Structure 1
Amino acid sequence: MEKGGGKGGPSSSSPVVVVVGGGIAGLGAAQRLCRQSVFRNLRLLEATDRCGGRICSQPAFGGVIEIGAHWIHGPSENNPVFQLALEYGLLGEKEKSEENQLIEIGGHPGLPSLSLSSSGKNVNLKLVEEVSNLFYTLLDQTREFLHMAETPVPSVGEYLKKEIAQLMVDWTEDEATKHLKLAILNTFFNLECCVSGSHSMDLVALGSFGEYCTLPGRDCTFSEGYEGLTNCIMTSLPKDVILFNKPVKTIHWNGSYRQENFPGETFPVLVECEGGEKFPAHHVIVTVPLGVLKEQMNTLFSPPLPRRKTEVIRRMGFGTNNKIFLEFEEPFWEPDCQQIQVVWEDTSPLEDVRAELQDIWFKKLIGFLVLPPLESTYVLCAFIAGLESEFMETLSDEEVLSSLTQVLRRITGNPQLSRPRSVIRSRWHSAPYTRGSYSYVAVGSSGEDIDMLAQPLPADFLIPQLQILFAGEATHRTYYSTTHGALLSGWREADRLISHWDSEAQQPKPKP
């Protein structure tokens, strides 16, 4: 393959399109394009040996666990992931019910079934509910600053802490209860870090927090695994579309390339893989996570991305939220328990902790989700975000298991509590083709930055157009961080190409 002369406009027969990344954004784009007869030359390059990306279901404990995406958030008529799941018959009767679709939860997780403190005591659930109402009332207030010219403080975290400090003046409880309320609030701060995908709510922009939109419906799961959805999309594609183990090294654009399989044709883009294979294209849809763009943007594109695009990538937030699954022979919780909250009594959102991560990383755990019993085993799923989550990835399984055994013995007040039988955990920050979990609007960035990230290249109106298109959850202004945002972004870029080629077809042809 060699660089040729000329600008190489769109082929008169069928454009060559390459999709980079086999997550739900890339799969959604490929599926939509394949339904149009004009897009006969389509390839999807996936860096690993599986599709799904941050949707990752794994057989374990006699069932299936979700290493990545866990819930359909807002399963209702306007959620494309929910609608696809219905179409493919992947949901149970409860999940499909109209009642489930109409429930408004405002994007907030439900209350715990059990709240345990670091001194081994049960925390009063009425107190937890009171603190929860306070926290989410304040959190909802932060959305009111959207589109305001100025905000009182830069971040969501600073706003929440300022309001809490003012409200504390009127608290009438004894000192021990006041401290406990602050400790419970700290757990809700940590929970919101998991929801937002940030290390601290001090990193999340106050003025843009309201960009994110929730959908009605009680969050639901796939009984057979979330990956069933991406597998269904995969099987709908022609068998030769997806190429596995093809990590992309460089996307050369704004050039004119030739390829022997297309005699007389020139291409503005050339996708070069780490193994040396090269794929010419008229259009490339890049769906890699924002974490990968942050790490590789200086080498992934040649010529480099425009400065406005690289500045946006640097400004936007991309954090880590991991799961730790613990398997038990016998449960220490009641049969109707669904969620166990952990409250560290020596913590407060109003105090900065200065300590080595190795000594405190487990305090960022928000608690444990009780998974449905699997065969003859019982499983808890812990959630942890931020730098503590990334530190956890550096530990061995034995170190994690040992630390969490001590945590469980401490919060239950039972020093003889049986050690979990095994542990499985996610490591999204270490994953080379992910580098984290999902995006958020960081202090210094805005909703406009999300739109800028989504803008195709080249930005000027020179021919050829739409050489590089961008999709993925980080490019959806109102549903960033979600699977439905990722899917919609893939559809958006596919529709952009479909519209472009429809208009090309309608252009008057020059007379011979």
Structure 2
Amino acid sequence: IATVPDKEPLSSTHLAPPSVGQYVRTEITRRLAILATCLKLECCISGTHSMDLVALEPFGEYISLPGLDCTFPGGYSRLPERMLSTLPEGTVLLNKAVRTIQWQGSFREEGDNARDYPVRVECEDGDTFLADHVIVTVPLGFLKERHQDFFQPPLPERKAEAIRRLGFGTNNKIFLEFEQPFWEPQQQLIEVVWENESPLEKPSTDLKANWFKKLIGFVVLQPPEQHGHVLCGFIAGKESEYMETLSDAEVLSTMTHVLRTLTGNPLLPTPRSMLRSQWHSTPYTRGSYSYVAVGSSGDDIDILAQPLPEDPKDPRPLQLLFAGEATHRTFYSTTHGALLSGWREAERLNQLLEPSRGSEGQK
């Protein structure tokens, strides 16, 4: 843990406190500063601006998978690429932004009066697709901003309220590449603690002056033979969203200042390159992932996951199905939660179509 004071880094020249009382106060202050950093780490894990926004009672419903994180060689994109490789060419259409999803309708292909469809998907480029069933996997952040006009007719009030109550925040990464490492060969993590902070006090709202203090530290990417000498910083909340509004040069300059301050080396070289995520400003995500906010519960996750129409006796069931990390009650905010929710909705369709498969062969 690197402890960062207000003005200058700690050194061996600091004198011991002269009294027991001063010593106790100093130690309490340091431990509170460490706890403040721990809460920032939890903000990154939960994808929230503040842990004051996260509901306590359902917090324990989240389940962590055992074992280490899995890093895909070549990045996350290799996972969908592998899935696409098993599908016929042209099955998946990219860069087809959807404007609206019309459901509970009766739509027909031009020239075909023998068959109608309950769902019509209209794209921003004017193309349309008719369907019996649509699985909606857009992020909760997008639903929060667009669900009123994205679905026609609008979603039932029960589902709209669940979307409103659930939390959705931002957690970004900042990658810094160096010519040579300034950290120890076996070092895995550099945590940053600001000595003047306490979880008992409200944090500063001056984002321009203090946004970088929300940074929890850096993970050392391993192995260097594969990644080079790279640190990956994590920052969440409003400060993370403010970071997205800055230029690359401004972020790089600030990160250099932070590292020079915590190492006490004013001559520490500037990183040779920087890469950062910008999840909040991306229009189709508007953040990173969900959390169960104060005023919501795991029941809201289940409500969001329920297919439409709500009436199980509707003659045209499962017109809209919902998947994505925000629809998994115990694995929300994770990639595996998103993947499992997609399998869940696919199986829901399989169960619906199974009788017709037996009587009609393939459908």
Q: TM-score, normalised by structure 1?
A: 0.65
Question: Relative to structure 1, is the Cα distance of residues 120 and 459 closer, same or farther in structure 2, using a 3 angstrom cutoff?
Answer: same
Partner of 1:236: 86
Partner of 1:386: 237
SS at structure 1 position matched to 2:89: coil
Partner of 1:492: 344
Partner of 2:18: none
1:409 partnered with 2:260: yes
1:366 partnered with 2:216: yes
Aligned residue among 464, 467, 476 for 2:328: 476
Cα shift readout 1:201-246 (whole Å, capped 9, x = no counterpart): 0000011101111222122322432322221111111212100110
How far apart in 2 are the matches of 1:356 and 1:426?
22
How far apart in 1 are the matches of 2:134 and 2:267?
58
Partner of 1:117: 4
Question: Relative to structure 1, is the Cα distance of residues 376 and 352 closer, same or farther in structure 2, using a 3 angstrom cutoff?
Answer: closer
Partner of 1:335: 185
Q: Is the 8 A contact 1:329 1:376 kept in 2?
A: no
Partner of 2:15: none
How far apart in 1 are the matches of 2:152 and 2:227?
54
How far apart in 1 are the matches of 2:319 and 2:265?
61
Question: Relative to structure 1, is the Cα distance of residues 224 and 506 closer, same or farther in structure 2, using a 3 angstrom cutoff?
Answer: closer
Q: Is the 8 A contact 2:3 2:195 kept in 1?
A: no
1:501 partnered with 2:353: yes
SS at structure 2 position matched to 1:270: strand
Partner of 1:73: none
1:426 partnered with 2:277: yes
Pairs within 5 Å for 1:246-265? 246-260=96-110, 264-265=114-115
Between the aligned residues of both structures, percent identity stands at: 60
Question: Relative to structure 1, is the Cα distance of residues 216 and 377 closer, same or farther in structure 2, using a 3 angstrom cutoff?
Answer: closer
Question: Relative to structure 1, is the Cα distance of residues 483 and 199 closer, same or farther in structure 2, using a 3 angstrom cutoff?
Answer: same
Q: Is the 8 A contact 2:99 2:150 kept in 1?
A: yes
How far apart in 2 are the matches of 1:355 and 1:463?
53
How far apart in 2 are the matches of 1:282 and 1:253?
9
SS at structure 2 position matched to 1:343: strand
How far apart in 1 are the matches of 2:10 and 2:179?
24
How far apart in 1 are the matches of 2:268 and 2:281?
32
Question: Relative to structure 1, is the Cα distance of residues 172 and 206 closer, same or farther in structure 2, using a 3 angstrom cutoff?
Answer: farther
Cα shift readout 1:117-141 (whole Å, capped 9, x = no counterpart): 3342489xxxxxxxxxxxxxxxxxx
How far apart in 2 are the matches of 1:236 and 1:220?
22
Partner of 2:17: none
Question: Relative to structure 1, is the Cα distance of residues 399 and 268 closer, same or farther in structure 2, using a 3 angstrom cutoff?
Answer: same
How far apart in 1 are the matches of 2:132 and 2:112?
12
Q: Is the 8 A contact 1:187 1:343 kept in 2?
A: yes
Aligned residue among 47, 52, 64 for 1:202: 52
How far apart in 2 are the matches of 1:445 and 1:376?
41
* C-alpha deviation, 1:359, in angstroms: 0.5
SS at structure 1 position matched to 2:134: strand
Cα shift readout 1:309-353 (whole Å, capped 9, x = no counterpart): 111101000000000111111111111111100000011111002
* C-alpha deviation, 1:479, in angstroms: 0.5
Cα shift readout 1:167-222 (whole Å, capped 9, x = no counterpart): xxxx9962111111110111110000000111100000011101111222122322
Pairs within 5 Å for 1:70-219? 114-118=1-5, 119-121=8-10, 174-219=24-69
The worse-fitting range, judged by mean Cα deviation, of 232-241 and 287-296 is: 232-241
Q: Is the 8 A contact 1:342 1:411 kept in 2?
A: yes
Question: Relative to structure 1, is the Cα distance of residues 429 and 363 closer, same or farther in structure 2, using a 3 angstrom cutoff?
Answer: same
* C-alpha deviation, 1:504, in angstroms: 4.2
Gaps of 5+ in 2: 13-20
How far apart in 2 are the matches of 1:472 and 1:251?
17
How far apart in 2 are the matches of 1:474 and 1:438?
7
How far apart in 1 are the matches of 2:36 and 2:227?
35
How far apart in 2 are the matches of 1:338 and 1:275?
47
Q: Is the 8 A contact 1:115 1:122 kept in 2?
A: no
1:297 partnered with 2:147: yes
* C-alpha deviation, 1:264, in angstroms: 1.4
Counterpart residue type for residue 479 of structure 1: F
